[in-house]
Amino acid sequence: MNKFVEAAKIKGVVQHYAWGGFNFIPDLLHLNNEEHQPYAEYWMGAHQNAPATLVGVEPNVALDKLIAEDPSAYLGEAIASKFDGKLPFLFKVLDVKDMLSIQVHPTKAEAVKGFARENAEGIPANAAHRNYKDDNHKPEIMVAMTEFYLLHGFKPAAELKAVLAEVPEFAELASYFEGDNYKALYAHIMELPQSEVDRILAPLMERIVPAFQQGSIEKTSSDFWAAKTVAEADSISENLDRGIFSIYFFNVVKVEKGDAVFQDAGVPHAYLEGVNMELMANSDNVLRGGLTPKHIDVPELLKHTKFEPTVPNILKGDDRTAAEKVYGSPAPDFEISRVEVSEGQLFNAPAGHSFDILIMLEGEEATVKSANVTYNLKAGETGMVAAGVDYTIEGNGLLFRATVPN
C-alpha cells in the first residue's frame, strides 16, 4: 500500500506464555477463553516476531511493513534516522499469574555483539537455546494496573547481610559476601552443583512451605515467593531451582496501582504477580538465570549483571497537563503516559515528532481525531497516530500512550 495512513485502529498479538493469567487480557479484549489458555502478554508494536496490524485499512497491513514503506513519514525524520527506520519501542499488557524468570537485559553494545556472535555460530533465530533474538537493548518501564509485586535489583548491603544472618540455611554463605562482594556471593550460588543447591534449600523449603500453605506469610516477605515456587510440587527435596536464592538476595517490591518502576540494562529482576502496562525498547533479548523452563545461561547472565545495591525507585508520574500523567525514564527509546479524558476534559497532542500507540483500558468510549481521520476506541481497543500529526482524544476513558520522548 502506498497511501499514507496518518491514524488508524490497530490490533495487537496475544502471547500465551505459561505464566500468564486466564482472565484479565481475555476480558479486556472481549475474548472467550473456554480453552482456559494462559493469556500472558498483549503486544502492540512493530516487533518482527509479532507485529500489530491495521484495522479498517485495506489491506490489513502489519505495522512493521507499514513503517518500512516510509520510515521518515511514519516515525519522523529524526527518529527514523536514530533508530534505523524502525519503531524503537514495544508496548505490552502483562498479566502475571506465576512468577517470571530471574533475568537481566544486555546493553545495546553487548546486544549487537551477542547477536552477531550467535549468527556467526549458526544458531537459528528461533532456537530455544538462543540468548540474543535481535541486536537491541531492552530497558523497560512498567505501570501497575493492579497491586503488583516484583524482584528488582540487589538488596542494600546491610539488608543482604541481615538475610544471610537471619536465614539459618544461609549461614554458610556469609563468608562470600565479605567486603560487600555481590559478585562473589551471587556467582557462588549460581554456579553451585545441583546437589549443593538442594542441600541448602531443601531444609528452608521444609520449614517455610507449611506456613505458606496455612496462609501465615505476608506477600512482602521473601519466604512467601520462595515457598510459592515449590508449594504445589510433589517433592521439595530434589532439583530445587537456584533462582530461589535470588528471591532472598533481591528487593521484593510492592507497587500500587498507577505507580511505575523503570529497569535498565544489567539490573536483575523478575515479575512475581499482578497486571501491568509495560513499555520497552523494541527487543526480545532476555538472559535468564532461574525460575523458568526456558533456556538458562548462567555465565551469560553473570557477564551482564550489575553487581551493586539497588534502592527501588517507585515512580508516581508527573502531570504534563490536566489529562496526561507522564512516567519519565532515562531511556531514549520510549515514553509512557496515562491519559484520562472525561466530560469537558480532552487530551490535545500537538503535532508530535513521534509515532504514537494508544490503548483504552477503562471507560465508555474515546474518540481519537486528527485532521483527516476519526476513530473511536472502547476498552481493550488500540490505535496509532503517525509522527507530525495533530490529534485530540475526547470522550470518557482511561488510556495509555506510548511515544518517543522529545
Q: In 222-331, at which residue ranges do the beta strands (DSSP E only) sit?
A: 250-255, 260-263, 269-281, 287-290, 318-319, 324-327
| 7-150+255-294 against 325-403: fold identical | yes
3-state secondary structure of 360: strand
Query: Is domain 325-403 in CATH 1.10.3720.10, yes or no?
Result: no
Quickly count: other Cβ atoms within 10 Å of residue 72's Cβ: 14
CA gap 156, 119 in Å, rounded: 38
403 forms beta bridges with: 335
pTM: predicted TM-score of the whole model, two decimal places: 0.94
Q: What confidence score (pLDDT) does residue 125 get?
A: 85
Residue 1: per-residue pLDDT: 59
Distances (CA, A) of 189 to 193, 195, 323: 9, 12, 48
**Can you say which residues are annotated as belonging to the binding site?**
103, 105, 140, 269
Task: Return the domain boundaries, the chain.
Answer: 7-150+255-294, 160-247, 325-403
pLDDT at residue 370, rounded to an integer: 94
What's the pLDDT at 238? 66
The distance from CA 140 to its chain's CA centroid, rounded to whole angstroms, is 6
- Candidates 94, 140, 143, 154; CA nearest to 256 is 143
DSSP state at residue 302: H
* Pairwise CA distance, residues 21 & 42, whole Å: 12
pLDDT for 251 = 98
Q: How far apart are CA 93 and CA 15, in angstroms?
A: 10
For residue 237, what pLDDT is reported?
60
244's CB contacts (< 8 A; 6+ apart) are: 201, 204, 226, 229, 290, 291
CA distance 40 to 21: 6
What are the distances in angstroms from CA 64 to CA 131, 220, 392?
23, 41, 25
pLDDT value of residue 15: 97
Contacts of 89 (CB under 8 A, 6+ apart): 45, 279, 280, 281, 282, 333, 334, 402, 404
Report the pLDDT value the prediction gives residue 89, as an integer from 0 to 100.
97
Residue 155 near residue 269 (C-beta atoms within 8 A): no
Residue ranges of the annotated binding site for Zn(2+) are 103, 105, 140, 269
- φ, ψ (nearest 5 deg) of residue 76: 90, 145
In the Cβ-directed half-sphere of 374, how many Cα atoms lie within 13 Å? Answer: 5
User: Environment class of residue 103 by beta-carbon count within 10 Å: exposed (0-12), middle (13-18) or buried (19+)?
Assistant: buried
Q: Which CATH superfamily is domain 7-150+255-294 in?
A: Jelly Rolls (2.60.120.10)
| Full pLDDT tens readout for the chain, 406 residues | 578 999 999 999 999 999 999 999 999 999 999 999 999 999 999 998 899 999 988 778 999 999 999 999 999 999 999 999 999 999 999 999 999 999 999 999 999 999 999 999 999 988 989 999 888 889 999 999 999 999 999 999 999 999 999 999 999 999 999 999 999 999 999 999 999 999 999 999 999 999 999 999 999 999 999 999 998 665 566 689 999 999 999 999 999 999 999 999 999 999 999 999 999 998 888 999 988 888 899 999 999 999 999 999 999 999 999 999 999 999 999 999 999 999 989 999 876 779 999 999 999 999 999 999 999 999 999 999 999 999 999 999 999 999 999 8
In a 3-state reduction of DSSP, which class is residue 190? helix
Element housing 77 (H / E): helix 77-82
Reading the block at residue 392, the C-alpha cell is 485530540
* Sign of the alpha-carbon dihedral angle for 184, 190, 193, 196: positive
**Cα dihedral 146, 152, 156, 158 sign:** positive
Which residues are tagged catalytic? Answer: 288
